[in-house]
Homo-oligomer: A and B are copies of this chain.
Amino acid sequence: MGRDGKPTYDKILAESKALLFENGFSGTSIDQILQRTGITKGAFFYHFKTKSALAKALIEEYAKEDILHMNEALKKTKYLEGDALERLLQFIQEFVDMMSGLSEPYSCLYATYTYEPSQFDEETLRHISETILTWRKTMEQLIRDVLQDYDTKIEIDIQSLADHTVVIFEGAFVVSKALKGRDLTADHLKHLKNYFQLLFVRKTTED
């Protein structure tokens, strides 16, 4: 009964996201979203009770896809479980490949929200931190696997090293966007890969 609202809903999400990357969240008015989508106010507030509800839906979809990509890269590199370092390196390489050849700088919703935190409710912000913690958990495991067979040339804190991946993602996004050139994320992920490659040395079996 009633017509299908899915296309409208999806259109709002897609165009809103694009607008957020140009104007930020407070800087994006609902009227602007209506203009870009060709949708009316009635339709918008039918799908989203408030502007905050849109923000929440946006971050949920975004984080879901993010974790999806992460898990896909995990899956793709599962065949390398034998050599944990090779697996870690290839895991990063998956994202190098993914981000290579992007013409425009990539923008991230986490940073968008993080730099105007008062605009969002606790739950929405927590969703971001929890997604980053999911990344931390995954990277920690990958690193721990490496440490079974490898030592580090320099003493490191595992959690901090685990976070370093997201740090480089987010930093590369900001710098690429600020410089308004091509996206530099792939380049900087390569440095992360280099770091991992240089940091670990295979344990000497003392026999």
Shortest C-beta distance, A140 to chain B (Å), equals 14
Shortest C-beta distance, A17 to chain B (Å), equals 13
A62 within 8 A of B: no
B115 touches A177 (CB 8 A): yes
- Complex Cα distance, B175 from A174, in Å, reads 12
Assess A166 versus B175: contact at CB under 8 Å? Given A26-B26, A116-B24, A119-B24. yes
Q: Which residues of B contact A74 (CB under 8 A)?
A: none
Chain B residue nearest to A195 in the complex (CB): B195
Q: Mark A40-53, 1 if CB is under 8 A from B, else 0.
A: 00000000000000
Number of copies of chain A assembled together = 2
Chain B residue nearest to A164 in the complex (CB): B191
- Complex Cα distance, B107 from A190, in Å, reads 26
- Complex Cα distance, B199 from A128, in Å, reads 33
Binds B, one of A76-84, A94-102, A142-150, A178-186: A178-186
Chain B residue nearest to A159 in the complex (CB): B187
A35 within 8 A of B: no
Q: Which residues of B contact A22 (CB under 8 A)?
A: 116-118
- Complex Cα distance, B166 from A37, in Å, reads 36
Query: What 10 A-B pairs come out closest when comparing CB atoms?
Result: A171-B171, A24-B116, A26-B27, A167-B171, A198-B198, A26-B26, A170-B174, A170-B171, A160-B187, A195-B195
A6 within 8 A of B: no
Other than the given A21-B115, A153-B198, A163-B184, 6 more pairs (CB < 8 A) read A115-B174, A170-B171, A170-B174, A170-B175, A171-B174, A191-B195
- Complex Cα distance, B168 from A169, in Å, reads 9
A115 touches B107 (CB 8 A): yes
What are 20 A-B pairs at a CB distance below 8 A?
Answer: A21-B115, A23-B119, A24-B115, A24-B116, A26-B26, A26-B27, A107-B115, A114-B177, A115-B177, A116-B116, A125-B178, A125-B180, A129-B180, A132-B178, A156-B191, A167-B168, A170-B170, A170-B171, A191-B195, A194-B199
